[in-house]
Chain A
Amino acid sequence: MKESVTLKKLMEKFPDDIVGTHSYRGDDTAVVKKDKIRDICLFLRDDPDLLYNFMMDLTAVDYLGRDPRFEVVYHLYSLPHNRRVRLKALVPESDPTIDSVVSVWVAADWFEREAYDMYGVKFIGHPNLRRILLYEGFEGHPLRKDYPLKKRQPLIGPVN
């Protein structure tokens, strides 16, 4: 299969930060290191051949037992070129932080808050990184695979 424009340009621009790529059945995916995620996103948004101006989704995945444990996943769409790409940024458990991309796409705001709420990945530079679905005072991050199934929260008490 012919390699996609996006992945080719990414490899040329950030050769040291791309861990791996694949484009199975046309699904372009790049696994990247987390350090330059903001630069990569800016490049994807602003390069005239790419113009990924629509951030469709941002979430996280917990691969418990693997190192690095977390992945932050970005799904991007280019309206001018009708192309999609998926970025996976590797985030280790020892340092669960990654640069925020709110300054690149404003839409990332609530997605990053949700990922922080559910997985405890901190987005550095986020303007308002609070819990979005759960309440202040909730302990832990419930979508982590090691969150206890029957855990009860202190503010709610043993009955609930």
Chain B
Amino acid sequence: MGLKLSRWTVTRNLMGGKAEDAGPERLLDGSVILTRLEAAVNWARKYSFFLYPFVTACCGMEFMSVAGPRYDLDRFGAALPRFSPRQADLLMVVGTISHKQAPILVKVYNQMAEPKWVFAFGVCAVSGGFYDNYSVVQGIDTLIPVDIYVPGCPPRPEMVLDGLLLLQQKVKQERWTDWPRGEAPVSRC
């Protein structure tokens, strides 16, 4: 009995509930889990990101490092890069975005099916970085909504993993009403 109890307590915590409202489950001896559908769906979503690597610059090497076996994004369920935006739900913007590239980024974002999240990887994607000049977008959040900002030039793999965990926390707290977000306005530049 004690073993079973600890198992459903762990599962229950995973689902974002509290142990004390687990009355019916206790009656059913831990063989059934009661939760909100929203919480269960968010739990599934946060461990199965299909990412689209939008790689434009030197941060791409760091992305390869973090996706490779040493740091291994697969441990967090975000292993499978999809090279079609239609199949992806996490847009990793890795590197500098120039104004000439901007309409392409917006188009890729709009082609992704919702729910979708955006990960700004590296300081160039976050704010333009030291490219404060005529040709570079001063942060991709001027084009599309961004969920997680990971600065660094390039960021350490640990920072990327930390950003991914923060994104998982964010996804866990989402409500049905957060979606759909709608299209980003297409940039004319």
CB within 8 Å of B: which residues of A? 133-135, 137, 142, 147, 151, 153, 155-156, 159-160
Contacts and interface: CB of A to CB of B under 8 A. Distances in A.
Interface string B130-143: 00011101100010
Interface in B50-67: none
A142 B188 contact: no
B99 to A, nearest CB: 6
B189 interface: yes
A160 B188 contact: no
Contacts of B187: 156
Contacts of A156: 99, 102, 137, 187, 189
A142 B138 contact: no
Instruction: With a 10 A CB-CB cut-off, give which of A137, A147, A153, A156 has the most chain B CB atoms.
Output: A156
Interface string B88-114: 000000000001101000000000000
Contacts of A155: 188-189
Interface of B: 99-100, 102, 133-135, 137-138, 142, 187-189
Contacts of A137: 188-189
Contacts of B188: 137, 155
Given A137-B189, A153-B189, A142 B135 contact: yes
Contacts of B99: 134-135, 153, 156, 160
A127 B181 CA distance: 46
A35 B99 CA distance: 36
Nearest to A157: B142
A151 B132 CA distance: 11
A151 B138 contact: no
B134 A147 contact: yes
A133 to B, nearest CB: 8
6 contacts: A147-B134, A153-B189, A155-B188, A156-B102, A156-B137, A156-B189
Q: Specify which of B102, B134, B137, B138 lies most central, judged by the most chain A CB atoms within 10 Å of its CB.
A: B134
A160 B138 contact: yes
The 5 closest A-B pairs by CB, nearest first: A142-B134, A155-B189, A159-B142, A156-B189, A160-B138
A30 B142 CA distance: 48
Nearest to B137: A160
A135 B134 contact: no
